[in-house]
Amino acid sequence: MPFSRTETDLKQSPFYEYHHATKHTIQKLYSYGHRLDWASQPDPFLCFDGAPIVDLPHEFSVSSDDLFQAAVSHVENARTGFINKDDAKSETDDLLKFISNLLFYGVAISAWKQVVGTSNRWALRVNASSGNLHPTDTHVLISRDSGVLGAGAYHYKVSEHKLEQRVRGDAVTPLLRRLGIQSEAPPVVLCLSSIFFREAWKYRERAFRYCQHDMGHALASLSLSASALGWSMRIVGIFPDEEVADYLGLNQANEKPLALVLLSPGSTNLFDPHDSVLSLDSFDAGAVQLGEPGGTKNATLPAPGPFIGKQNQLSSQIIDYPQISRVYQATKYDLDSCRDVRRNQKDFFTGVSAKSAPKPGPIQAAGDVIDLQFDFENASKSCQHKSVHQTIRKRRSAVDMDGRTGMSLEHLTYILRTSTMGFPADFQGVDVLTDGHWSRSAREHLVHLYLYVHRVDGLTSGLYYFDRFENTLVPLLLRDQREGAKETSCFQDIACDGAFSVSMIADFQEGYRLYGDRGYRFAHYEAGYIGQMLYLTACALGHDATGIGCFVDDDINKYLALDDGKEVIYNFTFGKAVHDSRLTTLPSYGFSTPEF
């Protein structure tokens, strides 16, 4: 895969073609005639009949009052070994209890909603999803026996909070060798997969975008959950897709692997995200080790064993959307692509700290630039839900805002700053706060934020650019933004009835130069990750939020005067929710769970 990309290459790339083909326009919105086929609605719960069931313990951690602040304020350290291993549970203490807590606060059902007086109900999960369709599934890989939990590959049966064993034996070590990670295998690795049709049933061709957002939401929720439990986490997005899918039997369920998550207790260094993960020598050595003696670098990743269980039928009719199939194929990596992108990263990131932060368009201030004074300690006093576990389980997506309630500048600053630090992945990095100043991540962030400020104390209503590296707000237009925010968010009142709303802008040119078409996925992961952190931080402060996937793409791009290659990929809004009295909330599971 060549990486000397030009602007012309970008415009001719398959992902860019898909992105433009799936843009909303006013004409499309008014002519949209798609009707939902309720008879073929996909089952939101994947399961494997006949697979051995492992009951997860129902002993859930409930963090102390200040842990939400600790998890957020030390995020740049907690995710690179901030928590002392002595303070964390030993991996042999109770691995099953850790996994139960990780999943309960990372990807589980948080509640059920039911229409009063009817049997119509649906499950909410701790990680947000457009349309509440949740295309993401979780597979848990265990490297060695630990108590009642044997080494193997398991599927998380979210409907019952249980594990289903699909494969017996170490499923971790061969996989990590294929990824070029030669350190001791961590005890737990997650594979997050996506079932595109769950989303496409409602959103058709545009669904691929939302599946990638959903992945980012899940990664953020799991990241915060792991940190609160005292474990380190690393995300791997550069891997050979089809090999991993075959290795874990995902193709049997029409699943596509999108991310791998490495987990280890305490400050254990899973791998240095800036050095060893880029080592081409270790990458090739790992590939050689997979083959028989005398094998080659291209030895195929062997299946870990016979797969157990038969997948349930997800839908009576699964419709293929060719545009989704094409963009998925274009964003896949094979082994050679992985080598090329790592070589490209190694060349690019040498001396990257001296490179000035890219701006998504011509930023011309219409007034004084506002330096956002960021004080974690004082901000924590404003948190209503201080416990990270309470915050995760209580987070909801608002469906309506009151149009009156505002927000303080301090809360706005806290929300923005805690949500844009980055995260530890082989395509991303974490920014560090030192003496009130932010050091630039050693990885390239691909997402930038514009704000439509409606009711924030101390700020004039207007359009602002958030410089995440300088920690400043740059005023661009100082006038009422409510009507424009509403119109460009598919005429949804919620975009203008909050205190402020956000447009997330992806730098596709930079992503394409670094990762080829795969950069399309990574930009959406980053946007989804930011989105989940926006949700959680707003919730901790007592505010409400919701992501908006329906927006008129080019109207926003034009309004923000974005350069070519920069595109809006996600909108968000914040305020005070108006709750629907027609709905009632039911417990997440039949067993006892923490009451917050």
pLDDT recorded at residue 234: 87
Residues 402-442: tens digit of each pLDDT: 999 999 999 999 899 889 988 888 898 877 766 656 665 54
Rounded distance between C-alpha atoms, residue 314 and residue 22, angstroms: 25
The residue behind tokens 């530890």 is 424
Q: Residue 501 pLDDT > 70, yes or no?
A: yes
Higher pLDDT, 81 or 236: 236
Mean pLDDT lowest among 174-178, 195-199, 263-267 = 263-267
pLDDT recorded at residue 2: 45
Mean pLDDT lowest among 226-235, 260-269, 543-552 = 260-269
Q: How confident is the model at residue 216 (pLDDT cuts 50, 70, 90)?
A: very high
Residues 7-29: tens digit of each pLDDT: 668 889 999 999 999 999 988 88
pLDDT recorded at residue 290: 41
Work out the mean pLDDT of the chain and round it to a whole number. 84
Burial class (CB in 10 A: 0-12, 13-18, 19+), 366: middle
Q: Residue 8: enclosing H or E segment and its boundaries?
A: helix 7-12
Q: Residue 536 pLDDT > 60, yes or no?
A: yes
Q: How confident is the model at residue 452 (pLDDT cuts 50, 70, 90)?
A: very high
Rounded distance between C-alpha atoms, residue 60 and residue 166, angstroms: 25
The residue behind tokens 């907690």 is 78
Domains detected in the chain: 83-311+319-349 (3.40.109.10), 357-575 (3.40.109.10)
Mean pLDDT lowest among 214-218, 433-437, 577-581, 591-595 = 433-437
pTM for the full predicted model: 0.92
Three-state DSSP at 381 gives coil
Q: How confident is the model at residue 539 (pLDDT cuts 50, 70, 90)?
A: very high
The residue behind tokens 């409510």 is 482
End-to-end CA distance of the chain: 51
pLDDT recorded at residue 97: 94
Rg of the chain on CA atoms, in Å: 23
Residues 99-115: tens digit of each pLDDT: 999 999 999 999 999 99
pLDDT recorded at residue 480: 96
Torsions phi, psi for 232 (to 5 deg): -90, 155
Q: Residue 64 pLDDT > 90, yes or no?
A: no
Q: How confident is the model at residue 165 (pLDDT cuts 50, 70, 90)?
A: very high
Residues 558-576: tens digit of each pLDDT: 999 999 999 999 999 999 9
Q: Residue 84 pLDDT > 80, yes or no?
A: no
Rounded distance between C-alpha atoms, residue 53 and residue 69, angstroms: 36
Which region, left, alpha or beta, applies to residue 561 given φ > 0 means left and ψ of -120 to 50 means alpha? left
Write the DSSP symbol of residue 352.
G
Which amino acid appears at position 505 of this protein? Answer: I
> Taking a C-beta distance cutoff of 8 angstroms, is the pair 44, 133 a contact?
yes
Rounded distance between C-alpha atoms, residue 102 and residue 94, angstroms: 12
Q: How confident is the model at residue 5 (pLDDT cuts 50, 70, 90)?
A: low
Which region, left, alpha or beta, applies to residue 249 given φ > 0 means left and ψ of -120 to 50 means alpha? left
The CA-atom distances, in angstroms, between 263 and each of 9, 65, 250, 270, 291 are 37, 25, 21, 8, 26
Q: List residues bridging with 193 in a β-sheet.
A: 137, 257
| Percent of the chain predicted with pLDDT > 70 | 81
Helices (H), 186-240: 196-203, 207-228
